[in-house]
Structure 1
């Protein structure tokens, strides 16, 4: 059973591991090795990461006490991070997290959900009614990465 709970400061390292390994093992299908290394560097700044997690206050997915994914929802409807453990993909974790975010947004009165979505994650977001608003190229540590600004009206069922 997938349990969703709030973020705890002690989750930061586990969430970094999910972020890092998912990008390095899954997103590498759609991005070059140099791009994934820029996106998820080998030597992260732990303080910057901890502060980022504190600022986005993610929802954490667990199976039998093991952290298997996380996402967040900002007050303006932004989904800043959305990652599922690379060894647990296809097991309903992403679906459960997205359903949780959409329900939480509805409870908060969010009218529009949006995110900057990787090439890899685009089909997943589309399954939940998100549409591409803009294709963009972002520069990260000297590498150019294509992604998509996607949005969804809160009233879509």
Structure 2
């Protein structure tokens, strides 16, 4: 029987987090999306973190939260503007231990506090089931080009409860 992990703690992203967040991003794509995307698609997608400065700048322009277990980063999520989840990634070793749920709960509360009435996300085929279980509804399928590869995702939307914390 496996040992249960403690509940993840959340904190704002620090500039020194960028290398580990880039590593989480890459590991998440490489280890968790293989059932839905080819190796070539995964490589093209993960290449977004090759330039850590550019990757860090993207996260710094958004409200980015870092999930930690025993003080070590294991996931992150970013809110673009008041109403769009841009990134949500969890290290494979911490997957299915409530990290994504904790991050998403926090982003939904923050979006509501920023006045958003709905929250949107471009969910990968791997993440679509996670968001659907949280009440996000598929709006449309998309094809995006990354490098020489085409990847599919789904635009999803969740109506946030008025006057509540999502």
Range that drifts further, 40-49 or 101-110: 40-49
Aligned CA-pair RMSD: 1.6
Match of 1:142 in 2: 148
Contact 1:60 1:70 in 2 (8 A): yes
- Structure 1 residues 43 and 75, CA, compared in 2 at 3 Å: closer, same or farther? closer
TM-score normalized by the length of structure 2: 0.89
Task: Give the Å deviation of 1:118.
Answer: 0.2
Residue in structure 2 matching 1:20, options 26, 39, 44: 26
TM-score of the two chains, using structure 1 as the length reference: 0.94
Unaligned runs of 5+ in 2: 1-6
How far 1:43 sits from its partner (Å)? 7.5
Kindly indicate whether the alpha-carbon contact (under 8 Å) linking 2:49 and 2:55 is maintained by their aligned counterparts in 1. Answer: no
Give the deviation of 1:76 after TM superposition: 3.4
1:26-45 residue pairs with structure 2 within 5 A? 26-41=32-47, 44-45=50-51
The residue aligned with 1:76 is: 82
Gaps of 5+ in 1: none
Distance 1:85 1:32, change over 3 A: same
Selected match of 2:97 from 78, 91, 102: 91
Secondary structure at 1:90 match in 2: coil
Deviations 1:114-135 (A, max 9, x none): 0111000000000110011010
